[in-house]
């Protein structure tokens, strides 16, 4: 299997594009509207040793606040408490986001530097369902641009006719297999997870 190891070899297969004028160093008007309509984003961070983590973030449209056209605030809600992405930001502030809007083919890509904000007023302002944000990630935007719709069109992501039946992951099974503990009651564990989902 051939391996590409140089940029020159890569660009022989994928020629460099001149279409870089769409890349901005700030969020433009269309980007601002897109972020206001987005209920979901994917956040990527990298540890000091180079391990990449990708985290989903979601809430009602507008949950990400724009302080200005080069600064975004993303609230951190109740979750699994792994906090790998937040740990990464302490060691390495590089961060990347992809914003998604349902039934829209284009996505908005943002890269920059992130920092963790623990400010009671900011966390309270970014409350949802009566609960203040636990923390807030502030992103200093260095690059922002829209990605074309080809990937989502190929995936038929917004076409219900292509969707499989609703799926369900058993965390109880994962825990039972990882611990090899026959005492783990998979059904009870999964019921507890379902119950926890009621408290977003």
> 88-115: per-residue pLDDT in tens?
999 999 999 999 999 999 999 999 999 9
CA distance 194 to 9: 49
Contact 121, 73 (CB under 8 A): no
Contact 182, 172 (CB under 8 A): no
How many beta carbons lie within 10 A of that of residue 21, not counting itself? 7
Q: Which residues pair with 45 in a beta bridge?
A: 53, 95
pLDDT at 104 (0 to 100)? 97
pLDDT at 194 (0 to 100)? 84
DSSP strands (E only) in the chain: 40-46, 52-58, 65-68, 71-76, 94-100, 107-117, 135-147
CA distance 200 to 184: 25
In angstroms, the Cα distances linking 37 to 17, 30, 61, 62, 86 are 29, 11, 5, 6, 25
pLDDT at 130 (0 to 100)? 93
Give the 3-state secondary structure of residue 121.
helix
Q: Give the count of alpha carbons within 13 A of 159, CB side only.
A: 7
Domains and CATH numbers, the chain: 20-155 (2.30.110.10), 164-196 (no CATH)
Q: Which residue positions in the chain have pLDDT lower than 70? A: 181-184
pLDDT at 182 (0 to 100)? 61
Report if pTM > 0.85.
yes
CA distance 143 to 111: 5
CA distance 6 to 103: 37
Q: Which two tokens stand for residue 10?
A: 């890569």
Q: Give the count of alpha carbons within 13 A of 118, CB side only.
A: 1
């Amino acid at each position: 299997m051939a391996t590409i190891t140089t940029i020159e070899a890569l660009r022989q297969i994928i020629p460099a594009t001149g279409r870089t004028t769409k890349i901005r160093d700030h969020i433009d008007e269309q980007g601002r509207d897109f972020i206001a309509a987005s209920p979901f984003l994917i956040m990527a961070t990298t540890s000091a040793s180079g391990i990449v983590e990708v985290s989903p973030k979601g809430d009602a449209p507008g949950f990400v606040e724009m302080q200005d056209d080069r600064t975004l605030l993303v609230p951190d809600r109740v979750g699994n408490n792994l906090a790998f992405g937040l740990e990464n930001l302490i060691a390495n502030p590089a961060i990347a986001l992809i914003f998604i809007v349902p039934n829209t083919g284009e996505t908005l890509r943002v890269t920059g530097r992130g920092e963790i904000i623990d400010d009671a007023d900011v966390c309270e302002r970014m409350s949802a369902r009566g609960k203040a944000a636990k923390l807030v990630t502030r992103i200093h935007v260095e690059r922002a641009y829209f990605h074309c719709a080809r990937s989502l069109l190929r995936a038929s992501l917004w076409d219900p006719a292509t969707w499989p039946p609703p799926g369900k992951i058993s965390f109880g099974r994962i825990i039972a297999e990882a611990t090899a503990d026959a005492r783990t009651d998979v059904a009870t564990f999964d019921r507890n997870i379902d119950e926890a989902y009621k408290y977003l």
